[in-house]
C-alpha cells in the first residue's frame, strides 16, 4: 500500500471523506483492491458487534463470591497426599532408615555405649579410666590432693 492509504485508512473505513485518498484510489488499482478487501472485513466485523450491552443476571456477583469462598483452601496435609511428594518422602525415609541401621551395625561397640542406661555407664570401666600397669597410683592421688588444696574458693 502507498502512503496516502496507510495514513488515512481508518478514516476511510469509518466513512469519512478524505479527498487525497480518493484521488489516489482512482489512479492506483492495487490500493483500490486492497481497500475493497479492508472494507469487506470491516463490514463483517461490524456485523459481529452486539447492539445491546450484555449485563449479568441479578445476583451473579454474589454467586461468584459465594462459590469462591466455598472452595476448600489447600492444607498442609494435602501436600502429603500428592503422589509425587509422597513417593519422594518414602524414598527419603527408606534411605534414612538404611543409613542409620548401617551405622548401628558397623560402628564399634564403644560408640554404642551411649545408648546404654546411665547406671551401666557409671559402673562400666571406660578405656581412658583404666590405669596402665606402669603408672604410680600414689603419685596420682597426691597430684589430685594438691589440686584440691590449691583450688581458690570464691568469697
Residue-wise DSSP of 99-146: HHHHHHHHS-HHHHGGGS-HHHHHHSPPTTTSPPTTS-HHHHHHHHHH
pLDDT digits (tens, 9 = 90+) for 123-145: 666 555 445 545 676 777 777 77
Per-residue confidence (pLDDT) for residue 110, from 0 to 100? 63
Per-residue confidence (pLDDT) for residue 69, from 0 to 100? 83
Per-residue confidence (pLDDT) for residue 96, from 0 to 100? 97
Per-residue confidence (pLDDT) for residue 93, from 0 to 100? 95
Chain CA centroid to CA 118, Å: 46
Spatial separation of the C-alpha atoms in residues 55 and 61, rounded to whole Å: 11
Residue 72 has pLDDT above 80, yes or no: no
Residue 67 has pLDDT above 80, yes or no: yes
6 CB neighbour count, 10 Å cutoff: 10
pLDDT digits (tens, 9 = 90+) for 73-99: 777 777 777 788 888 889 999 999 999
Spatial separation of the C-alpha atoms in residues 80 and 102, rounded to whole Å: 28
DSSP state of 71: S
* Residue 85 and residue 79 in contact, taking contact as beta carbons nearer than 8 Å: yes
Q: Report percent pLDDT > 90 for the chain.
A: 11
pLDDT digits (tens, 9 = 90+) for 1-13: 577 677 777 777 7
Alpha helices, H only, 3-59: 3-14, 19-27, 29-48
- Give kind and range of the element (H or E) at residue 16: none
Helix/strand/coil for 55: coil
Amino acid at each position: 500500500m502507498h502512503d496516502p492509504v496507510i495514513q488515512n485508512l481508518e478514516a476511510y473505513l469509518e466513512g469519512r471523506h478524505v479527498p487525497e485518498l480518493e484521488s489516489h484510489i482512482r489512479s492506483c488499482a492495487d490500493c483500490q483492491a486492497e481497500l475493497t478487501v479492508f472494507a469487506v472485513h470491516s463490514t463483517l466485523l461490524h456485523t459481529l458487534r452486539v447492539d445491546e450491552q450484555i449485563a449479568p443476571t441479578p445476583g451473579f456477583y454474589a454467586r461468584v463470591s459465594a462459590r469462591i469462598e466455598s472452595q476448600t483452601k489447600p492444607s498442609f496435609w494435602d501436600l502429603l497426599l500428592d503422589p509425587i511428594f509422597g513417593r519422594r518422602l518414602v524414598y527419603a525415609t527408606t534411605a534414612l532408615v538404611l543409613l542409620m541401621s548401617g551405622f548401628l551395625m558397623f560402628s564399634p561397640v564403644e560408640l554404642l555405649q551411649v545408648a546404654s542406661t546411665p547406671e551401666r555407664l557409671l559402673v562400666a570401666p571406660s578405656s581412658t579410666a583404666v590405669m596402665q600397669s606402669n603408672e604410680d597410683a600414689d603419685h596420682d592421688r597426691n597430684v589430685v590432693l594438691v589440686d584440691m588444696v590449691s583450688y581458690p574458693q570464691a568469697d
